[in-house]
Amino acid sequence: MKLLNRISFILDVITRSFISLSLIVMTVALFAQFIARYVFQSGVVWTDELSRFLMIALIFLGAAIATRDRSHITVSIFEDLWPAAAKWLRPIQDIVMFAYSVIVLIYGLDALEVVQAQISPNLRISMGIIYSVFPITAILMMVHIVAKIRKKEAGSKQNDNEIEEIEHKGVGI
């Protein structure tokens, strides 16, 4: 379990670093485009395409981070009405998110097969590189969800063990 949590943590750090680096690259590229257009009256043709591709990657990788942090937007009407139901709804939410990740992985791999031979117009790179964000994000989300579920299971087992130890000592609850 510790290994899975460590892997989830390392992947999260790498993802966050990539997002930070991508934001810097986007800022520099768009600033260079601005300077080229308004100062030198010419443009750099690939900056808008690079920024668009990086923004798409940022959105999907941000979704993986939000999965790990449990910060996705949720409809919490049932949890608000019945706070005790949250304990039963969270596993259902995790299962639905995992199923969604599997679907994204399957369709993302299918899309990769279709687009890998295509070349982007300005950057002249394979569109397979761009579309690889779908399966990568799906795998990241699955790792984070499984790590979260395993952590909950270990936490609940640990709590049960602590309760048994307390009861054995005659303290009771």
Question: pLDDT at position 150, please?
Answer: 86
Across the chain, mean pLDDT equals 85
Amino acid in the structure at residue 35: I
Asked if pLDDT for residue 77 goes beyond 90, the answer is no
Tell me how far apart the alpha carbons of residues 70 and 113 are, in angstroms, rounded to a whole number: 32
Q: Which 8-state DSSP code applies to residue 41?
A: S
C-alpha count within 13 angstroms, C-beta hemisphere, residue 83: 0
Distance of alpha carbon 98 from alpha carbon 138, whole angstroms: 9
Helix and strand numbers (H, E) in the chain are: 6, 0
Confirm if 131 and 111 have CB atoms less than 8 A apart: yes
- Give, as one character, the DSSP assignment of residue 72: S
Residues of the chain above pLDDT 90, percent: 56
pLDDT grade for 101, boundaries at 50, 70 and 90: very high
pLDDT category of residue 44 using cuts at 50, 70 and 90: confident
Q: What is the pLDDT of residue 15?
A: 95
Alpha helices in the chain (DSSP H): 2-38, 47-69, 77-81, 86-115, 127-131, 133-168
Q: Comparing 9-23, 39-53, 66-80, which segment has the lowest mean pLDDT?
A: 66-80
